[in-house]
Amino acid sequence: MRKASMFLVLALGLTACNPDGMAFGAQTQVVPGLATAGLIDLTQEYGKETGTYLGYRSEITQPTLKFSVAPGSLGVTVTSYTVEALDSAGSRFGGNDASYSRNGLSFRVPGGYACPTGDTDQCAGADKTAVARQVAFPDSVALIKQGVVEQLNQNYYVADECENLSMRISFRGFDDLNRSWSSPAFTNADIGTECNRELVEEQP
């Protein structure tokens, strides 16, 4: 009987709400995913008269990301992420910009609870209702670097190949119980690529 009582106290402790109403429950199920795919639109320019390669122009549409939060999950605060650009074989693509990290973030993903007032998960435990959430990661974050575009141009110039690309992205931070958190593997963030050639007037 005493062992059962101790177990009950431990379980209640794990699911207790802290004073500010933020932490509740013990699980953390926050999974990153792709909201919209990225795109690199590349055009190589050649002189009309000589056929000489003059350079390229490009337009990058950055992908946007989201987090799927399971009902009853704790929230997390994202403090850093790492991105790797990959070719169709899964190898790094893009020279020095193929892999890079960003630290110093403080982006909170709310937990899988709703409160009676407003779109928040911060209220007394008795007022919380478990819900699923989709939370957008700030779209101001540039995930595709210029070095990836330069490598795409080089491949297209040498091998006449518009490489299919993707990204591997991982996030780190801490959950609402101040425990270290790392996101599950997110390895299929597609980057669409469009490669073309265009004849242009050469400058005298």
- DSSP 8-class letter at 132: -
Residue 11: the pLDDT is 36
CB 115 within 8 A of CB 121: yes
Residue 31: the pLDDT is 95
C-alpha distance from residue 140 to each of 89, 104, 137, 143 (Å):
29, 15, 9, 9
Residue 14, C-beta contacts closer than 8 angstroms, at least 6 positions apart: 25, 26
Reported pTM = 0.81
- Strands, E, within the chain: which ranges? 30-36, 38-47, 53-61, 64-69, 76-86, 99-102, 107-109, 113-114, 129-130, 133-136, 165-175, 180-182, 186-200
Residue 4: the pLDDT is 42
Question: Which of the pair, 162 or 27, is modelled with greater confidence?
Answer: 162
CB 74 within 8 A of CB 163: no
Distance CA 13, CA 83 (A): 37
- 7 pLDDT tier (thresholds 50, 70, 90): very low
Question: Which of the pair, 18 or 191, is modelled with greater confidence?
Answer: 191
pLDDT tens digits, 82-132: 999 999 999 999 998 999 999 999 999 999 999 998 778 988 888 999 999
DSSP H helical ranges for the chain: 2-14, 146-159
CB 39 within 8 A of CB 195: no
DSSP helix/strand/coil, 53: strand
Residue 110: the pLDDT is 95
Residue 18: the pLDDT is 52
Residue 27: the pLDDT is 86
Read off φ and ψ for residue 39, nearest 5 degrees. Answer: -150, 135
C-alpha distance from residue 118 to each of 24, 114, 160, 181 (Å):
18, 8, 54, 27
pLDDT tens digits, 10-22: 333 344 445 455 5
- 203 pLDDT tier (thresholds 50, 70, 90): confident
Share of the chain above pLDDT 90, in %: 72
